[in-house]
């Protein structure tokens, strides 16, 4: 679905520089701040060059999202391969930097049809992968949790809430919530396995 008008190559140095700049702007001031001018300024180039690589602003935002999504995918696979995959996933979910960016894109996607599909598709894929992981790792031990997909939803939900509220300066109950998650994970994944790590 790449538009024919785009000339800037996806593997060029400038392309990466622009995606970097856009991501930085989004992190600092939100997606609404990612205007042609602002991004160009952050990248140290002229505004029209942005449109040379990304015909529309949505194209640029999508590129930032896709790169972040690929990184998330890699992080999940890395967590999957670690010694304590479930706790690694929880760290992934509650990672401030990455989750803050994810939240920006979710907020953006809510009102930008062009991006919604891509973002939704990726979220579903990530969830499916995680669900598969939980199933394989926890299997019969899921017990009361019932379904691994639910666990994925809940961990993601709590991680996002902590990050967003943190950004707003809200902290009440956060430590308790974290402790609660730890308790659950401890019951799912007996302490013995994880205490060997540190």
Partner DNA sequence: AATGAATGAGATTTCATTCAT
Partner DNA sequence: CATGAATGAAATCTCATTCAT
Contact set with its own copies (CB under 8 A): 2-3, 7, 29-30, 32-33, 41, 44-47, 103-104, 106-107, 109-111, 116-117, 119-120, 123-124, 127-128, 131, 144-154, 156-158, 160-162, 164-165, 167-170, 172-180, 183
For DNA, which is the closer residue by CB, 14 or 177?
14
At its nearest, how many Å lie between its own copies and the CB of residue 112? 9
CB of 115 to its own copies, least distance (A): 10
H or E stretch covering 24: helix 13-29
16 binds DNA (CB under 7 A): no
Task: Pick the piece of the chain touching DNA (CB under 7 A) from 4-12, 78-86, 105-113, 142-150.
Answer: 4-12
Residue 52 binding result from its own copies, DNA, none, given CB thresholds of 5 to 8 Å by partner type? DNA
Rg (CA), the chain: 19
The residue from 48, 97, 192, 198 that contacts DNA (CB under 7 A) is 48
Decide if 53 contacts 8 (C-beta within 8 A): yes
Yes or no: say if 83 and 39 are a contact pair by the CB < 8 Å rule: no
DSSP 45: S
Taking contact as CB under 7 A, which single stretch among the options 1-9, 72-80, 153-161, 178-186 is the one that binds DNA?
1-9
Separation of alpha carbons 158 and 4, rounded Å: 41
Does residue 177 interact with DNA by CB under 7 A? no
177 binds, among DNA, its own copies, none (CB under 5 to 8 A by kind): its own copies
| Dihedral pair phi/psi, residue 197, rounded to 5° | -65, -65
Check if the beta carbon of residue 47 is closer than 8 Å to that of residue 146: no
Closer residue to DNA (CB): 43 or 101: 43
Joined together, the tokens standing for residue 116 give 């919604």
Tally the C-alpha atoms within 13 A of residue 113's C-alpha that lie toward its C-beta: 0
DSSP single-letter state for residue 142: G
């Amino acid at each position: 679905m790449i538009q024919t008008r785009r000339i800037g190559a996806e593997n060029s140095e400038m392309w990466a520089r622009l995606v970097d700049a856009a991501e930085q702007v989004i992190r600092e001031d939100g997606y609404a701040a990612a205007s042609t001018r602002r991004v160009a300024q952050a990248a140290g180039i002229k505004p029209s060059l942005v449109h040379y690589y990304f015909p529309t602003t949505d194209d640029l935002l999508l590129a930032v999202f896709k790169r972040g999504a690929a990184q998330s995918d890699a992080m999940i696979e890395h967590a999957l391969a670690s010694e304590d995959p479930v706790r690694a996933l929880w760290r992934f979910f509650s990672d401030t930097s990455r989750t803050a960016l994810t939240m920006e894109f979710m907020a953006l996607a809510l009102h930008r049809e062009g991006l919604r599909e891509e973002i939704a598709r990726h979220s579903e894929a990530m969830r499916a992968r995680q669900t598969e992981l939980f199933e394989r790792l926890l299997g019969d031990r899921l017990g009361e949790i019932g379904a691994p997909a639910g666990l994925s939803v809940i961990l993601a939900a709590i991680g996002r809430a902590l990050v967003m509220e943190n950004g707003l300066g809200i902290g009440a109950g956060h430590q308790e919530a974290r402790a609660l998650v730890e308790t659950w994970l401890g019951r799912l994944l007996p302490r013995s396995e994880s205490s060997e790590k540190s």
